[in-house]
Amino acid sequence: MNKVQLIQALDSYARRCDDEEEEFVSAMHTFVTTKNDPFSRQTAAGHITASAWILDTNRTHALLCHHRKLDMWVQLGGHLEPSLDDSVHAGALREAYEESGLGAIKAMSPNIFDIDIHAIPAHGDEAEHLHYDVRYLFAARSANAVQLTPESKELAWVRLDEIHKVSTEKSLLRMAKKATQFLRKSTH
């Protein structure tokens, strides 16, 4: 995993992020530049995680998972695996495959789609810590069967304009709005 590569991606993202995320960009930039290994789960304060915002090929639905431990609807994603992931983007794609069972997932952009910093409650031997989550935009066919993993209670394709019905989570609503805006721009 390459810190310089992530810092460059964050700098690029900072030029196009919305006001709400400027604080996240600054905090994540500081975290990446000051921690010896910001990608490691052993970094006590928190670590970089990777997520996939997956749209269906009609671009009307996003694939969400009802996370078993957190008991809430979230996008697919998780911890980076240094032995498997050569970049945060690669980690997001790997997590998407692992958590969905989908056979074909296509990157819609190599650039960061969204970022978020959120607290993860203590669980077992793990103390409460922060996830510095970097999110990328992907597409997959909703007709392809998804497969539950032990991490999820449920997987569902949810209409972008109905995500507010399954979650009031600010970052999910923000990504639904961004996806709609991204799609509007790409069709004009």
Amino acid 82: pLDDT:
86
Amino acid 116: pLDDT:
96
pLDDT (tens, 9 = 90+) of the chain, 188 residues, equals 689 999 999 999 999 998 878 999 999 999 999 999 999 999 989 999 999 999 999 999 999 999 888 888 999 999 999 889 999 999 999 999 999 999 899 999 999 999 999 998 888 888 899 999 999 999 998 766 777 777 888 899 999 999 999 999 999 999 999 998 887 777 65
Residue type, 50: A
Amino acid 1: pLDDT:
67
Q: Taking phi first (over 0 means left), then psi (-120 to 50 degrees means alpha), and beta for anything else, what does residue 123 get?
A: beta
In order of their start, the domains of the chain are 3-187 (3.90.79.10)
